[in-house]
Homo-oligomer: A and B are copies of this chain.
């Protein structure tokens, strides 16, 4: 069986930003997640602690939203896209914080990378806030949960 074709590489193996000029614009949406695994007491401190208005979650959310808009500056072969919606949700459960990012656009290519970037940077921002109290935290399970729109149609990850 031949190797799978990596579309970001040309026949000679060199990288390029692929030509999407002839693709038609459609509504596209992607949902991605990232999970920060730490300790239960740390999750508690992030979510509420003793504080009436702790901004840890809000800070991570804004970082994720702003990062989604920087995706084409961070990922070399991504196309710049006019994002029409970005939401970042963060929920805690025992020893972990799960970030879910939803990104939409009306464009010629999909927004999985934007959703993944938003989720990853939100999780890194949470990590930054807890690293002084837990050196051993791990960010895990970064993946696409679902995507809509485009030629390949709708898709949803298995649970």
Residues of A within 8 A of B (CB): 1-10, 12-21, 27, 41-42, 44-46, 49-59, 61-63, 65-67, 69-70, 72-89, 104-108, 112-113, 116-117, 120-121, 123-125, 127-144, 147, 155, 157-158
User: Within the complex, which residue of B51, B128, B139 is in contact with A77, where a contact is CB–CB below 8 Å?
Assistant: B128
User: Within the complex, which residue of B4, B132, B155 is in contact with A41, where a contact is CB–CB below 8 Å?
Assistant: B4
Please give the distance in Å from A17's CB to the nearest CB on chain B: 4
Question: Nearest residue in B to A140 (C-beta to C-beta)?
Answer: B140
Please give the distance in Å from A16's CB to the nearest CB on chain B: 4
Tell whether, in the assembled complex, residue B124 and residue A74 are in contact, meaning their CB atoms are under 8 Å apart.
Answer: yes
Chain B residues within 8 Å of A15, by CB: 55-56, 58-59, 61-62, 65
**Would you give 17 A-B contacts (Cβ < 8 Å), ordered by A?**
A3-B44, A5-B133, A9-B54, A12-B53, A13-B49, A14-B57, A14-B61, A14-B89, A15-B61, A18-B85, A59-B76, A62-B63, A63-B74, A81-B82, A82-B82, A137-B143, A140-B142
